[in-house]
Chain A
Amino acid sequence: MPKPVILSEQHVESIEKILDELRAKTRATYVFLADISGQLIDARGSLGSTDIVALAALSAGNMAATAEMARRIGEAQSFRLMFHEGEKSNIYLSQVGASFLLAVVFEALVPIGLVRLFSKRAVDELQTLATEYEGIVSQTPTMMESGFSTALDDALDALLPKKEETHRDRIIIR
C-alpha cells in the first residue's frame, strides 16, 4: 500500500484557513486542495451543484498528463501551474510540492494576476505545512474500533446487496 496521508484536526484547520484566505483575496467562486492521486483533501467556497470529488479527480489527471508533457519536451520537473480559460469561469491549478495540487475556480471578471499572486502565496504556506506534517503523522492513534469489521460488512450488504444465489451463471470461486 502507498504511504498513507493522515491529516490531524489541526492540519485540516490550518488548510482551511489558507484556503479561506485565498478564496477571499481572489474573490474566487471556490478553491480546493487535492493530492496527485486524485483524492480531494478540502474545498472551500460556493460549490453549487459542482461534483467536487469528480472535479478533483479530473484535475489530478490533468496535472499528471501535463507532467508527462513537460517530461517529453525536456523539462526536468513538471509544470508548476496550469490555467484554463472559459467564457464565464476559469480554473487555475498550481502544484504544491510533489504530491498535491491547489485549484482556484473563479469568474472571468477576476483579474488573473490577482489569482496568480495569491495562489503563489497559498502554495508557499501549504508547502510549509507539508514539511511540518511529517512530524505529526506518527502521533495519530489507531482509529478503527473493535467491531468495525462487522459494521463494515453490514454497510456493504446494504449498499451492495447480495443477489439471489439461484442464478446459474454466477459461480464464486474460493
Chain B
Amino acid sequence: MFINWKLKEIKLKIVYYGASSCGKTTNLEYLHANIPAGARSDLVSLKTREDRTIFFDFLEIRLGEIKGLKPKFSLYTVPGQVYYIASRKLVLQGADGAVFVVDSAPDRREANLEAWDNLHTNLRDLRLDGSTFPIIIQFNKRDLRDALPITELRAKLVCNGHPQIEAIAKRGIGVFESLRPTIKAVMVAAQRHL
C-alpha cells in the first residue's frame, strides 16, 4: 500500500496468480477493453513469442474521487510457466491482495495445486500471512465440456474462507465479479493498517 497524503491518493497492488494458461492475462485484457480509457492505464504485457507472459502484465485502474480519497489499483499477473517461477515472487512483492485463477480443465489439476502451493510459499517468504492475506479464488473456464466439478476443485485447494467466483474470462463472465470483492477486501485490509 502506498499513500500520497498531498494528492490524497491510495495505491494498492493486486496480483493475478495461477498456473500457466489459466486465464490471468485474459482477465486483464478484458478489464482493459471494458473499462473506459480515462479510468485505466495502458495494458503492459511482457510476452514471449509464444504469447506466454515472461515477466508480468500490468494495468492500473482508477476509481475517481471517493470521499476525498483517490484509490488506484495496480493489477499484475505473474508468469504461469514453472521456469519463470523466480519472477512470480518478484511480482508478488508489495502485493496487498491476490486473485487466484484456477483452470477447470481436468489435466490441470496438478498445475493448479502447484501454483496454489507456490503462492503460499512465496507469501511466507515475503512474511505475509496466507490466512489473512486477501485472496479471491476464480474458477475459470467453466464452459469446458469436461470442466471439473466445483466441489472437487474446492476440496483440492482448501479454499477455506476465501471468496470464490466462477468465470469464463475469455467472454468476460466473472471478471468484474472477481475484481470487485478483491478491491473491497484490499481496502478493508488497508483500513485496518492505518
Contacts and interface: CB of A to CB of B under 8 A. Distances in A.
Interface of A: 1-2, 4-9, 11-13, 35-39, 41-42, 51, 53-54, 57-58, 61, 64-65, 68, 140, 142-145, 147-149, 151-153, 155-156, 159-163, 167, 169-174
B74 A159 contact: no
User: What size tier do the contact residues of chain B reach?
Assistant: 35 or more
Given A156-B180, A159-B39, A2 B67 contact: no
Contacts of A151: 66-67
Contacts of B86: 68
Contact of B190 (A4, A13, A68, A162): A4
A159 B35 contact: yes
A68 B126 CA distance: 16
A17 B66 CA distance: 28
A134 to B, nearest CB: 15
B16 to A, nearest CB: 14
A57 B42 CA distance: 11
Interface string B36-69: 0001011010100000000110101101101111
B87 interface: yes
Which secondary structure characterizes the binding site on chain B? mixed
Given A57-B74, A143-B69, A148-B67, A156 B184 contact: yes
B157 interface: no
A1 B66 contact: no
Interface stretch (B4-12, B21-29, B108-116): B4-12
B186 to A, nearest CB: 8
The winner among B58, B87, B167, B189 for most chain A CB atoms within 10 A is B58
Contacts of B44: 54, 57-58
Contacts, number: 169
A46 B95 CA distance: 30
Interface of B: 1-7, 10-11, 13, 35, 39, 41-42, 44, 46, 55-56, 58, 60-61, 63-64, 66-69, 71, 74, 76, 86-87, 90-91, 93-96, 126, 128, 133, 142-143, 150, 163-168, 173-174, 176-177, 179-180, 183-184, 186-187, 189-194
B94 A148 contact: no
B41 A61 contact: no
Given A1-B1, A12-B7, A156-B180, A57 B58 contact: yes
B187 A152 contact: yes
A61 B1 contact: no
A6 B11 CA distance: 10
B179 A160 contact: yes
A39 B81 CA distance: 25
Contact of B46 (A4, A61, A160, A173): A61
A140 B93 contact: no
Contacts of A161: 176
A38 B68 CA distance: 24
List of 7 A-B pairs having minimum Cβ-Cβ separation, nearest first: A37-B94, A12-B6, A160-B176, A4-B1, A64-B90, A9-B6, A6-B3
A26 to B, nearest CB: 24
A16 B42 CA distance: 25
B95 A2 contact: yes
14 contacts: A1-B193, A4-B193, A8-B6, A12-B7, A37-B95, A57-B74, A61-B55, A61-B56, A65-B87, A65-B90, A143-B10, A155-B64, A160-B176, A170-B167
